[in-house]
Amino acid sequence: HNLLLIIDNCFATPYLQNPIAFGADLVIHSATKLIDGQGRVLGGVTIGKSDLIREIYLFSRNTGPALSPFNAWVLSKSLETLSVRV
């Protein structure tokens, strides 16, 4: 039927589960929940096959939703303790 499999992986986090390995086309993570761990930032992550990500990238670039550099830094620091928190 030519359907896409999109997985919401907000609570399992990329540390505990990798839906791409099981055939998912796109995986969505909420960076606000467990990736940050303290609710300091509002953000998300979408990963997947390059042709689909390219379309999402072009849409995002043209419409403006983007993570601020500061929030990206906060998330990068939060990733250091992700394995301990989950």
Report the CATH number of the 6-85 domain. Answer: 3.40.640.10
| pLDDT tens digit at each of 86 positions of the chain | 999 999 998 888 777 889 999 999 999 988 887 788 787 888 888 999 999 999 988 988 889 778 888 989 998 888 888 888 87
Sign of CA dihedral 47, 24, 81, 37: positive
How many angstroms separate the CA atoms of 4 and 55, rounded? 14
**Measured CA distances, 19 to 22, 27, 35, 57, 77 (Å):** 5, 7, 16, 20, 24
Q: What is the pTM of this model?
A: 0.75
pLDDT at 25: 96
How many angstroms separate the CA atoms of 64 and 84, rounded? 34
Q: Where are the domains of the chain?
A: 6-85
Whether the CB-CB separation of 63 and 15 falls below 8 Å is answered with: no
